[in-house]
Structure 1
Amino acid sequence: MRIAYLSYEHPKGISGGGIGTYIGQMAKIMAEAGHSVEVFSGIEEKVTYQAFKHDGYQLHLIPAEHTEIFREKVLKVFEAVHLAHPFDAMESPEYGADALEVKLKYPEIPLVVKLHTPTFLISKLNSDLNFLSKMRFVLGALRKGNRPKFFWSYNNEYDPEYVLTSLAEKVVSPSHSLAKIVSQKWNLETKVIVVPYPFKPNQQLLKTSEVSTKPFVVTFIGKLEKRKGVLGLMRAIPKILKKYPNVIFRFVGKALPSPKTGMDMQDYMLSKLSTFRKNLDFQGFQSYEKIPEYLETTSVCIFPSLWENFPNVCLETMAAGRVVVGTDNGGMADMIEDGKTGYLIKPSSSQAVARVILKLLESKPEELAMIGAQARDSVLKRYNANVIGDACTTIFKQIIHKVDSR
C-alpha cells in the first residue's frame, strides 16, 4: 500500500510531543512491513523545505510557524507527490486538523483520523473557570450595559478538528476513555476503534537495575501543570512526610503557569511546601534520552493526571520495571492492571495519592520488584510493533475496500 501520514509534528521537525513520537514510530513500522510510506510534517519557518529518506520512509519537512499555516502549505507538497504517484490511504491526527485541506481537495483518498487529545478537551482540563467565575463575568458585562459573550461555549461546526474527524472513513483512538469522550462530544456516526500506540522501549529502560528504596524516591515526569494532577500530589506530600520524613519527591518536567498569576508551578509548589524543601527535587525539562537515568534511581513513579490519553511515560516506567501509580479515568486504565502491574487511583484526590504511596512505602522491596517485573512483561506483549502494525494494516485495507466499493 501507498500510505501518507500528515502531521505537523515529527521528531526530525517540530518535535517534543507525543504526536510526533507516534508518527515517527508508526511510519517506521509500516515501512518495515513493506508498505510505501511518506510523511508530511512541519519544521521551523527559518528552515527551507526538505525531503529525504528516514527510517525506511520518505520524510517531507515543510516550513510552517503553526498548525494553521501547515494545514494550508502541506496541500501543495502533498498534491505534487500524489499526482505523480497516488496514495492508497492517509492518516492524520485530529489535533490541529493537519490533513483538512488535503481531505477537502481529495475526498476520494481514504482517511484514518488517529485521536490524540482534541483541543476542546485540553481547554477543558486546563480551565480554571467554575460556575462562580462565569457568573462574575456575566454580571460584570451586564453592569457595564454590555451583552455577555460566552467565550467558554463550544460549537462543533466551527472546530476544524471536528470537521476533519467527521470526514474520516475510520476514527481510531489509543484508549477506550478518549474514544468515549470524543464519540459523545462530537456525536460521531463512525464508530471509534481502539488501537493503542506502538511502544518500542529504549534498551536502556530494559537494563534498569532492581528497585532502590534507600532513599525512597517518588518521581513525577511530565509538565508541571494543573491537568497533570500536580496540585493533588502537592497536597498529599505533607501527609506522606508526616509518617515517612525521608522520602524524596522528584519532579522532571517544564513548569507551566500556576494558579497564582505571574508564578510558575515550580515556584508555586515550593512556596506551598516551604517546610519540606529538603524533600523536593525539581529537575526541570529533561531530554527523552535522560529519562532512563532518572528511572534508574526511582522507587515509584506517580502520574496523578486529571485525565490522560495515552501517556508514553507510563509505558516507559513499566518497561523499566518500576511500580507506577496512575489515574483510572484515562488511558492509564487500559495500561495498568490495578494491584498487579501498578496501581490506579481516582483523579483530584490527595487522599488517594497519600494512601497508595504510604502503602508502597510499607511494602517490601521484593514486592515492588515483582509488580515492576509484571508491568514490564505486560508492556512488551501488548504494545509491540508487530501487534500494532498488523492492526493498522487491517484498518487501512478496510477503508480502501470501503471506498473502492462505493
Structure 2
Amino acid sequence: MHICFITHEYPKSGFPHGGLGSFVKTIGEALVTKGIRVSVVGMNYTSCYEETTASGVSVYRLKRSTVKGLSWWLNFKAVTAKINEIHKLHPIDIVETAELGLAFLPKIKEIKYVIRLHGGHHFFAEAENRGVNWWKGFQERRSFAKADAFIAVSKYVKTHTEKYLSYRNKPLGYIFNPINTDLFHPIAVPTVPFQIVFAGTVCEKKGVRQLLQAFPLVKEQFPAATLDIYGRDWLFPDGSSYRQMLMEKELPKLGDFATSVHFHGAIAFESLPSKYAQANVCVFPSHMETLGLVAPEAMAMGKPVIFTDRGPGPEIITDTVTGLLCNPLDSQDIAEKILWVFEHEALASEMGEKASREISSRFAVDAVLNKNIDFFKSLIGKKI
C-alpha cells in the first residue's frame, strides 16, 4: 500500500509548523513500520525544491510560487505534477489531505482521495462566529465533492462540519489523531513549583489572552508562580504580530507580575516533552479545537492538564477525573482551575496518572494506526 499525504506543514528543522504537520509526521513514520510506503507532498518553507527521506517517509518539498494573484493555482499545479510523477514510479493507493486540499487537484482514477477533518474554513467560521469567505467556502465545497471518503478526528468536528458541507453518503471514519507515546510519556524530572506551561500557536483562538488575564489572580495567591508560553507567533491580516500586541497591551496590565511571564517562541517538536515534564500544570484554554494534540500529549506524560470545556474538550478529558475543563472565555474560571491544582498537589498528581493511562490506551500510535489501516483497506479492497 502507498499513501500520499498533501501538506505544506511537514516539520522541518528551524521552521515552525502546526498540529497538522506533527500529525502527518507521527502517523507517516508509524505506517512505514508496518511496511507501507508513505510520501508527503507540499510547498517548501524556502524558495527551492527539496527531496528527502526521513524515518522512511519520502518528503517532497516543492518550490513555492511567488507570482502575485496566481501563486495558489501554480502551487496546485506543482502538487498535481509531483503526485503524477510519484504515481508512475510507485503507484499510489490513497491520497489524503485536509479540507481544502482537493479543490483544484485533478483525480487519478486508480487512487482513492480522503479528506481528514482537521478543521476547515466552514468549521472555524461557525466556531468563531464569523462569516464564511466566499472564495475559501467555494474551495472547500469543491474539495468535499471530490473526496471518496472522510475521516473525522473528533465527533465534534464531524457534527459541526456537516452543518455546512455534505459528506454525500461517502465512507466516514471516526479516528483520533495518534500521540507519539515514545516521546510523550512520564519522565522522572523535578517539577518546577508553580510553573504554568502553555504550548501552541500564540493567537486569540488558543486563549492566550485570557490565560494572561488569569495570571495575576494566580500570582496574588502564589507569588512564585510563572507562566511559560511556547509556540509560534500568529500574524494579523496586516502582518502585525499577535504576540507583540499582547506584550504591548496585555502585559502592562500585569504590572510587576509581567516579569514572571516568558514568551519562548516556537521550539522543536522533540523538545516539547521536557517542557511539559517540568511544568506544575499545563493549561490550554482554546476557544475552539477540532481535537487538539497538546492536551492529550501533556496528559500522556502524567501532567495535570486544564483544557477547554468547549468543542471536543469533554471527548478528551473527564472533568475532575483525568483533567480539568475550563471556560476559555472566563479568566476567573481559568485562574480557579490553576489554583485548584496548586492547592491540591496529591489529587492533581493522581489525576495526571489516570490521564496518562487513559491516553495511552485511547491515543497510542498502534491502536490508532490499526484503525487507519483498516479504514484505508476498506476503501481499496487490498490486503497488506
Which amino acid in structure 2 is aligned with residue 374 of structure 1?
A: K
Partner SS state of residue 10, structure 1: coil
Taking a change above 3 Å as real, the CA distance of residues 386 and 292 of structure 1, as seen in their structure-2 partners, is: closer
Structure 1 gaps of 5+ residues are 128-150
What is the Cα deviation at residue 319 of structure 1? Answer: 2.3
Partner deviation per Cα, 1:328-368 (whole Å, 9 max, x = no partner): 223333222211211112231123212212222221x3222
Judged with a 3 Å threshold, the aligned counterparts in structure 2 of structure 1 residues 265 and 338 are, in CA distance, closer, same or farther, namely same
Structure 2: distance between partners of 1:7 and 1:254: 18
Q: 2-side partners of 1:254 and 1:76: how far apart?
A: 31
Distance 1:155 1:295, change over 3 A: same
Aligned pair 1:397/2:377, yes or no?
Answer: yes
Of residues 259, 266, 281, the one that matches 2:262 is: 281
- Judged with a 3 Å threshold, the aligned counterparts in structure 2 of structure 1 residues 257 and 2 are, in CA distance, closer, same or farther, namely closer
The 1-side partners of 2:299 and 2:49 are apart by 40
Deviations 1:65-89 (A, max 9, x none): 5765432211112112323443222
User: Structure 1 residues 75, 297: closer, same or farther in 2, change over 3 A?
Assistant: same
> Could you state the TM-score of these two structures normalised by the residue count of structure 1?
0.81
* Residues 2 and 37 in structure 1, CA contact (< 8 A), matched pair in contact too: yes
CA distance in 2, matches of 1:238, 1:153: 37
Alpha-carbon distance, 1:252 to partner: 2.2
Q: Is the 8 A contact 1:8 1:98 kept in 2?
A: no
> How big is each residue's C-alpha offset from its partner over 1:131-170, in whole Å with a ceiling of 9 and x where there is no partner?
xxxxxxxxxxxxxxxxxxxx94544885323321232121
User: Which runs of structure 2 are paired with 1:65-84 in the superposition (5 Å)?
Assistant: 65=65, 69-84=74-89
Per-residue CA deviations over 1:171-216 (Å, capped at 9, x if unaligned) read: 1121121111111121433464320111113547532436453xx1
Paired with 1:263 and 1:212, the residues of 2 have a C-alpha distance of 27
Aligned counterpart, 2:2: 2
Residue 178 of structure 1: aligned partner: 157
SS for the counterpart of 1:273 is: helix
Q: Could you tell me how far apart the structure 1 residues matched to 2:175 and 2:37 are? A: 21
Contact 1:157 1:163 survives alignment (8 Å): no
Q: Deviations over 1:50-108 (max 9, x none)?
A: 2x4432243322222576543221111211232344322221122xx334444x34255
Q: How does 1:352-363 map to 2 (within 5 A)?
A: 352-363=333-344
Answer whether contact 1:126 1:226 (CA < 8 A) is retained.
no
Write the mapping of 1:37-76 to structure 2, written as runs, cut at 5 A. Answer: 37-44=38-45, 46-50=47-51, 52-65=52-65, 69-76=74-81
Task: Please give the residue correspondences for 1:7-406 in structure 2 after superposition, counting only pairs within 5 Å.
Answer: 7-12=7-12, 16-44=17-45, 46-50=47-51, 52-65=52-65, 69-94=74-99, 97-102=100-105, 104-107=106-109, 109-122=111-124, 152-155=131-134, 158-190=137-169, 192-203=172-183, 205-209=185-189, 211-213=191-193, 216-256=194-234, 263-363=244-344, 365-401=345-381
* Distance (whole Å) between structure 2 residues aligned to residue 58 and residue 242 of structure 1: 52
Structure 1 residue 393, shift from structure 2 partner: 1.3
User: Which amino acid letter does the alignment assign opposite residue 73 of structure 1?
Assistant: A
Aligned residues: 372
For the residues of structure 2 that align with 1:331 and 1:195, how far apart are their CA atoms?
13
Task: State the identity %.
Answer: 22
Q: Relative to 1, partners in 2 of residues 1:98 and 1:373: Cα closer, same or farther, differing over 3 Å?
A: same
Q: Distance in 2 between matches of 1:285 and 1:2?
A: 32
Checking the alignment, whether the CA contact within 8 Å between 1:3 and 1:37 is kept in structure 2 is: yes
Matched residue SS, 1:112: strand
Instruction: Note the aligned Cα RMSD (angstroms).
Output: 3.1
Determine if contact 2:323/2:355 at 8 Å carries over to the other structure.
Answer: yes
- Please say if residues 315 and 379 of structure 1, whose CA atoms lie closer than 8 Å, have aligned partners that are also in contact: yes
Which is worse superposed, 193-202 or 277-286? 277-286
Question: Is the Cα contact below 8 Å between 1:112 and 1:168 reproduced in 2?
Answer: yes
